[in-house]
């Protein structure tokens, strides 16, 4: 091998390849590099932030309050202040630029670079990785940090390609933006993105039509401006709050009560609900009683409180029944609640209509608009707020071939199987963060990036220190983890709704609970048991 070829080969060989430049990937890069690993991060987008590089649709903002939606490193938060309690996409981008300057990350990141495939080389115990545009590299280990929403979903609607107006999925919104002023806007979907776009469009669109299949049980955001003086006072508690994340269900600074909704009087129950409602954000979701997400009559208390709060904001009783039905469409909280600021008030406006697609299904899309059972609705702009092939979709779309010859997609076509939600049998030296059967969608993203991320970093370091060239989980470990997941799922109400938590939003996708429902303390006790027992459930080869 001549010297030029040898130099190029060395440049394209790394200890760890990281995929994705969101919170998880950037944290992996920062920590692994400090430990002396040679690391390369590849990112399909042109900038940092993961989902916050792609999310720039009107109204896009995070649904976790500060300071929980940032890194816990004091060298970062001591110098950074937010302008709002729930930051917008543009402020999050500025935050990631700040982190980049502090941690000097971009020098080891290949932007506009997509991992298209990988094949494990058993002879050399490494991954041969394919990148787009014919590029490649080799890595001893691969850590996938693609997030839960890396593959968007657009339903198969007849005539969608015929629409002559502006049409975009929210995750592929033009970076230069779109002006709704004076336009006839339609939004298909009422999840988090649909709610956020609808609020913005209602302000200046000539007319807004929202197509709803299932009512969104949205919670009050309680947004507010934040000044430096307020944050300086808050920062006195940051160290304590961040340290406590691992002890809470979802990686926040708070947990729910260790008390049943049935153990208190009606007045006491209402007082708890009212307190959490006023705090805003996810407090009402996971900050009330221990059995709200596990027992139907306790859950109904929460739903009825939510319903009455919302119906009081809607003038038309017919619309009130569609948006906040007297009987719950599904148990409260078993679909991810969106946060809203004035969503329900927009339906009191003359320029906003709701189309219940259960009563008036979408039949097709034409050049000029959407045709339902009731006729054609003319539109200038059509927003596809139709969600994602969540949790598994982003991983399965990469052509990763394991030792059996099967791809990860082929292995998971009948359902995801993992050990600890971080590894899969037949795919050695491959770990994934925020993936299936981990806390993922039930956990605050930055918390998982650090807490689950630390476990991955420590494992890779332990493998190196122990001279382990290959680590691979076993079928029996996967079976045990799957049984543990099923046992926990059966103790909750999550299987009672057709949500992306269950994979039920994607036609043909296996129905299974994709997120670990036991909370972070139980999850990390399992992880620490594995690592302290010489990585029980993994075969280690030196």
Same domain, 362 and 492: no
8 Å CB contact between 310 and 278: no
Q: Which of 9, 15, 1 is nearest to 125 (CA)?
A: 15
Same domain, 234 and 175: yes
pLDDT score, position 11:
65
Asked, for residue 27, whether it belongs to a domain, the answer is yes
pLDDT score, position 30:
98
Q: What's the CA angle centered on 362, arms 358 and 368, to 5 degrees?
A: 150
The two tokens of residue 537 are 């459930």
Q: Which of 368, 384, 400 is the last residue of a domain?
A: 384
Q: Which of 328, 353, 384 is the last residue of a domain?
A: 384
Same domain, 377 and 408: no
8 Å CB contact between 51 and 27: no
Asked, for residue 473, whether it belongs to a domain, the answer is yes
Asked, for residue 83, whether it belongs to a domain, the answer is no
Asked, for residue 329, whether it belongs to a domain, the answer is yes
Q: What is the CATH number of the domain that holds 481?
A: 3.50.50.60
Radius of gyration of the CA atoms of the chain, in A? 24
| Contact partners, residue 320, CB within 8 Å, separation at least 6 | 310, 311, 314
Q: Chain centroid to CA 56: how far? A: 16
The two tokens of residue 158 are 């007849």
pTM: 0.96
Establish how many alpha carbons lie within 13 A of residue 459's alpha carbon, considering only the half-sphere containing its beta carbon.
34
Same domain, 241 and 335: yes
8 Å CB contact between 504 and 330: no
In 125-265 the beta strands, taken as DSSP E runs, fall at 126-131, 136-144, 166-169, 184-188, 207-212, 219-220
**From residue 332, how far is each of 295, 306, 443, 517 by CA, in Å?**
11, 9, 18, 15
Same domain, 453 and 490: yes
Asked, for residue 354, whether it belongs to a domain, the answer is yes
Q: Which of 367, 384, 401 is the last residue of a domain?
A: 384
Same domain, 215 and 308: yes
**From residue 400, how far is each of 13, 96, 117, 408 by CA, in Å?**
18, 29, 5, 6
Domain boundaries, position 251:
160-384
8 Å CB contact between 190 and 216: yes
Same domain, 186 and 330: yes
Instruction: Please give the DSSP secondary-structure letter assigned to residue 37.
Output: -
8 Å CB contact between 171 and 154: no
Same domain, 330 and 206: yes
Same domain, 431 and 395: yes
Asked, for residue 188, whether it belongs to a domain, the answer is yes
Same domain, 379 and 448: no
pLDDT score, position 1:
42
The torsion of the CA quartet 16, 20, 25, 30, rounded to 10 degrees, works out to 70
pLDDT score, position 4:
38
Same domain, 183 and 220: yes
Q: How many other CB atoms are there within 10 angstroms of residue 330's CB atom?
A: 18
Asked, for residue 370, whether it belongs to a domain, the answer is yes
Asked, for residue 29, whether it belongs to a domain, the answer is yes
Q: Name residues of the chain where pLDDT drops below 50.
A: 1-10
Same domain, 410 and 364: no
**From residue 535, how far is each of 31, 147, 423, 468, 532 by CA, in Å?**
21, 25, 12, 12, 7
Name the domain count of the chain. Answer: 2
């Amino acid at each position: 091998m001549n010297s030029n070829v040898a130099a190029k080969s060395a440049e394209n060989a790394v200890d760890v390849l990281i995929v994705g430049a969101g919170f998880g990937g950037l944290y992996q890069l920062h920590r692994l590099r400090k430990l002396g690993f040679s690391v390369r991060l590849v990112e399909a987008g042109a900038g940092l932030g993961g989902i916050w590089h792609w999310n720039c649709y009107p109204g896009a903002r995070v649904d976790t309050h500060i300071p929980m939606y940032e890194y816990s490193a004091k060298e970062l938060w001591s110098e950074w202040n937010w302008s709002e309690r729930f930051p917008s996409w543009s402020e999050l981008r500025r935050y990631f630029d700040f982190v980049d300057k502090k941690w000097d990350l971009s020098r080891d990141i290949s932007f506009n670079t997509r991992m298209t495939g990988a094949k494990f080389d058993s002879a050399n115990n490494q991954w041969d990785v394919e990148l787009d545009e014919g590029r490649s590299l080799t890595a001893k280990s691969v850590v996938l940090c693609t997030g839960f929403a890396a593959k968007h979903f657009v339903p198969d609607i007849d005539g969608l390609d015929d629409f002559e107006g502006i049409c975009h999925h929210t995750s592929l919104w033009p970076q230069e933006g779109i002006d709704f002023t004076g336009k006839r806007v339609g939004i298909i979907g009422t999840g988090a993105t649909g709610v956020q776009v609808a609020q913005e469009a209602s302000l200046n669109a000539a007319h807004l039509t929202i197509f709803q299949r299932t009512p969104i049980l949205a919670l009050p955001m309680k947004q507010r401006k934040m000044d430096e003086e307020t944050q300086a006072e808050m920062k006195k508690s940051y160290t304590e709050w961040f340290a406590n994340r691992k002890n809470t269900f979802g990686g926040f600074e708070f947990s729910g009560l260790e008390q049943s909704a049935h153990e208190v009087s009606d007045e006491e129950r209402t007082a708890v609900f009212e307190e959490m409602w006023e705090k805003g954000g996810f407090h009402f979701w996971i900050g009330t009683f221990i059995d709200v997400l596990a027992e139907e009559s306790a859950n109904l208390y929460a739903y009825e409180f939510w319903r009455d709060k919302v119906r009081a904001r809607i003038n038309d009783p017919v619309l009130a029944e569609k948006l906040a039905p007297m009987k719950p469409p599904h148990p409260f909280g078993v679909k991810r609640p969106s946060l809203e600021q004035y969503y329900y008030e927009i339906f009191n406006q003359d320029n906003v209509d709701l189309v219940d697609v259960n009563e008036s299904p979408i039949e097709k899309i034409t050049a000029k608009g959407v045709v339902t059972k009731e006729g054609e609705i003319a539109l200038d702009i059509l927003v596809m707020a139709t969600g994602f092939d969540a949790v598994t979709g982003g991983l399965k779309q990469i052509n990763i071939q394991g030792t059996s010859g099967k791809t990860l997609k082929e292995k998971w076509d009948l359902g995801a199987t993992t050990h600890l939600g971080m590894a899969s049998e037949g795919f050695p030296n491959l770990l994934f963060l925020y993936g299936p059967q981990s806390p993922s969608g039930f956990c605050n993203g930055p918390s998982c990036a650090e807490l689950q991320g630390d476990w991955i970093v420590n494992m890779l370091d332990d493998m190196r220190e122990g001279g382990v060239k290959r680590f691979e989980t076993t079928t029996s470990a996967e079976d045990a983890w799957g049984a543990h997941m099923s046992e926990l799922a059966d103790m909750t109400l999550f299987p009672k709704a057709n949500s992306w938590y269950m994979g039920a939003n994607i036609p043909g996708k296996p129905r299974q609970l994709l997120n670990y429902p036991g909370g972070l303390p139980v999850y990390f006790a399992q992880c620490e048991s594995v690592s302290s027992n010489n990585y029980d459930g993994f075969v280690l080869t030196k």
